[in-house]
Amino acid sequence: MIHGLLLSGAILLLAGCGDPYEEGIQALEQEKWEEAAIAFKRVPNLDKRHDDAEAKASEAYYQLGKLAHDRQDWPKVMEHLGMLGRKDTRYEEGRGLMHVARFHLGQAAYEKADWQQAIELLSLVGKECEHREKARELLAEAQTKKTAAEESAQ
């Protein structure tokens, strides 16, 4: 009985110690993006056998960001796509989605009268964003309202 329990425990322990690269590949194939990103991030940087692990993690983060965009979960868009580096093949696409997220987060801050947050976010909306003009309008209004609030506080 004790031998069977020890053997079961050893099997469970070994199951959690699989090759993170292979776990990541399986998760990618099953479109389990978060699991894939986590697994690929566990691959040692010096492991030359899997030098594409970082690129695969980036693909998973891109997919997570895209799903968050589709759900309009703007903080998650920023979180996931913020993991992409300039060398990533999906960087430009991810950057475009982040501009949309910044616009919506800036707009929400504007609606809450959080002028500083609105200014910070709306000023980062890129010119290629479809909401650029509206972002510029809200930015100008937020700056005016922030100045007015500061003057009335004095």
Q: CA–CA separation, 148 vs 142, rounded Å?
A: 10
Which of 105, 3, 87, 83 lies closest to 38, judged by CA? 83
For the full predicted model, state whether its pTM sits above 0.95: no
* 146: pLDDT strictly greater than 50: yes
| 82: pLDDT strictly greater than 60 | yes
pLDDT in tens, 14-63: 345 588 889 989 988 999 989 988 888 888 765 667 778 888 888 999 99
**Predicted local distance difference test score (pLDDT) of residue 46:** 57
- For residue 129, give both structure tokens: 């964003």
The full set of domains in the chain, from first to last, is: 20-153 (1.25.40)
Q: Which residues of 9-40 are buried (b: 16+ CB within 10 A; e: fewer)?
A: eeeeeeeeeeebbebbbebbeeebbebbbbbb
Of 14-23, 37-46, 101-110, 140-149, the poorest mean pLDDT is in 14-23
pLDDT of residue 154: 84
Q: Decide if pLDDT at 1 tops 60.
A: no
